[in-house]
Amino acid sequence: MDLGKVLHRKGYRKVKLKKLKTNHLLIKGEVNGVKGRFILDTGASNSCVDSSLQEKFNLIATESETKAAGAGAIGMDTMIATKNSVKFGNWTYKNFSIVIFDLGHVNTALVEHKEQEVDGIIGADILEHGEALIDYNKCCVYLKRLVYKY
């Protein structure tokens, strides 16, 4: 039995991932119609975009009192942008919020391992919403197709 076919019948869409030299999983997608490169991080509670790319991704941000913390960095100032869309392959999530903060420490680590910088991180908020299933052997993620009612 082919897992991909079974999941497709259940409404899931397959999205390819790329394993980086750092063992991170890279997912390519779009935020507000703009293509980007993102680390798929099941341990990140919220998805985020680097603060230097706010205009690139058409993010309208407001100040946030929440401080960000991640590997090697704590207490970083954040902003939040609401009413955004994200797309991976033919899977789309509309009207979600994304955190904006400095991802310089992440990109420095990637460059030190001779990898390209990323635009952001896709976290548990999107993965949970898409009922994500990660296939590490085939290096892909399955996201459940969302039905929007207007």
Ranges of each domain in the chain: 3-144
Q: Is 66 helix (H, G, I), strand (E, B) or coil?
A: strand
144 to 16, 103, 104: CA distances (angstroms): 14, 28, 32
For the stretch 122-142, pLDDT in tens is 999 999 999 999 999 999 999
Q: Is residue 81 within a helix (H) or strand (E), and if so which, with residue range?
A: strand 73-88
For the stretch 17-47, pLDDT in tens is 999 999 999 999 999 999 999 999 999 989 9
- Evaluate if residue 72 carries a pLDDT over 60: no
Polymer length of the chain: 150
**Superfamily (CATH) of domain 3-144:** Acid Proteases (2.40.70.10)
**∠ at Cα 98 (71, 141), nearest 5°?**
75
Other Cβ atoms closer than 10 A to 7 = 17
**β-bridge partners, 38:** 27, 120
